[in-house]
C-alpha cells in the first residue's frame, strides 16, 4: 500500500466508526433514564414508620395483584380491611388507601406507568383526589 493513502484510509475508518456507533452515543443519557418517582408526600412525611402496605420490593412487583385482590374482597366478599404480613391493618381501597399516602398520583403512579407503557383504566371510575406535590 502506498503511504500517501494512509491519511485518507484513517479518515475513512474514523468516519465509518462514527457512523456505525452513532445510535449508541447519540442517545446517551436521553432515553433510558428510569422514572423519577416521588415518595415525598405530606402524608408519607407524617408517617413515623415510612413503609408501604407490604415491603417495597413486594409492592413494586405485586401492587397490581394486591389491588385486584382488594377489589375482589371489597366488592364480592364485603370484607374491607386488610392485615399486612407484619400485622398492620389497612382499609382496602384505591382512592381510600393507596392515594391517601401516595397523594401525588401523577408524580408517582403515572410516572412509573408511563415509563412502563402501562395504562390502568381504574381512573375512568375511581376518583383521583386532588394532587399534592
Ligand atoms: C367501570 C368502573 C370501574 C373501573 C374501570 C374500575 N373500578 Fe374499581 N370499583 C368500581 C366500583 C363501582 C367499586 C365498588 C365501590 C364500592 O363498593 O364502594 C369498585 C371498588 C374497587 C375497590 C375496593 C374499594 C375502593 O373503593 O377502592 C378496589 C381496590 C378497586 N375497585 C380497584 C380497582 C382497580 C385497581 C382498577 C383498575 C385496574 C379498578 N378498580 C377499575 C368501579 C370500577
Ligand atoms: C401508609 C401509607 C401507604 C399506603 C396506604 C400505601 N403506600 Fe405505597 N409506599 C408507601 C411508602 C412510605 C413507600 C416507600 C417505602 C420505602 O421507602 O421503601 C411506598 C412504596 C410503594 C411502592 C414502591 C415504589 C418504589 O420504590 O419502587 C409502590 C409500587 C407502592 N408504594 C404502591 C402502593 C399501592 C398500589 C398502594 C395501595 C394498594 C399503596 N402503595 C399504599 C406508603 C404507602
Ligand atoms: C415502580 C413503578 C410503579 C409504581 C410506582 C406504580 N406502578 Fe402500577 N404498575 C407498574 C408496572 C410495571 C405495571 C405493569 C405490570 C404488569 O403488567 O405485569 C403496573 C400495573 C398496575 C396496575 C394493573 C394495570 C392493568 O391494567 O393491569 C394497577 C391497577 C396499578 N399498577 C396501580 C398503581 C397505583 C394505584 C400506583 C400508585 C399508588 C402504582 N400502580 C404505582 C409499575 C408501577
Q: What is the pLDDT of residue 28?
A: 54
Mean pLDDT value across residues 88-99: 96
pTM for this one?
Answer: 0.86
pLDDT at 129: 80
The full length of the chain comes to: 133
> For residue 128, what is its C-alpha cell?
383521583
Mutate to test the pocket of ligand 3, among 112, 117, 122 (most ligand atoms within 8 A of CB): 112
State if residue 120 touches ligand 3 by the CB under 6 angstroms criterion. yes
| Cα first-last separation, the chain | 68
Residue 70 has which C-alpha cell?
Answer: 382488594
**pLDDT tens across 12-38, in order?**
777 776 776 665 655 555 556 788 899
Ligand 2: which residue has its CA nearest to atom 42?
Answer: 52
Cβ-contact 74, 92 below 8 angstroms? yes
Using an 8 Å Cβ cutoff, are 89 and 97 in contact?
no
Distance CA 34, CA 79 (A): 37
**Mean pLDDT in residue range 123-131:** 87
Q: Is 74 in the pocket of ligand 2 (CB under 6 A)?
A: no
For the chain, what are the domain ranges? 1-33, 37-133
Q: Which of 4-8, 36-40, 118-122 has the lowest mean pLDDT?
A: 4-8
Residue nearest ligand 3's atom 41 by CA: 109
Distance CA 97, CA 81 (A): 10
* Average of per-residue pLDDT across 101-123: 95
User: What pLDDT digit, counting tens, does each position of 34-72 carry?
Assistant: 888 999 999 999 999 999 999 999 999 999 999 999 999
* Spatial contact of 86 and 92, defined as CB atoms under 8 Å apart: no
Q: What is the pLDDT of residue 62?
A: 98
Amino acid at each position: 500500500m502506498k503511504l500517501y493513502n494512509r491519511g485518507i484510509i484513517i479518515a475513512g475508518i474514523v468516519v465509518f466508526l462514527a457512523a456505525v456507533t452513532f445510535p449508541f452515543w447519540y442517545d446517551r443519557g436521553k432515553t433510558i433514564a428510569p422514572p423519577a418517582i416521588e415518595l415525598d408526600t405530606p402524608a408519607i412525611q407524617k408517617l413515623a414508620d415510612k413503609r408501604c402496605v407490604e415491603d417495597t420490593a413486594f409492592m413494586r412487583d405485586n401492587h397490581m395483584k394486591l389491588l385486584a385482590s382488594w377489589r375482589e374482597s371489597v366488592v364480592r366478599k364485603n370484607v374491607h380491611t386488610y392485615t399486612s404480613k407484619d400485622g398492620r391493618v389497612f382499609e382496602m381501597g384505591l382512592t381510600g388507601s393507596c392515594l391517601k399516602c401516595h397523594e401525588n398520583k401523577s408524580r408517582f403512579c403515572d410516572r412509573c406507568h408511563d415509563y412502563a407503557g402501562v395504562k390502568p383504566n381504574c381512573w375512568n371510575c375511581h376518583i383521583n383526589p386532588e394532587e399534592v406535590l
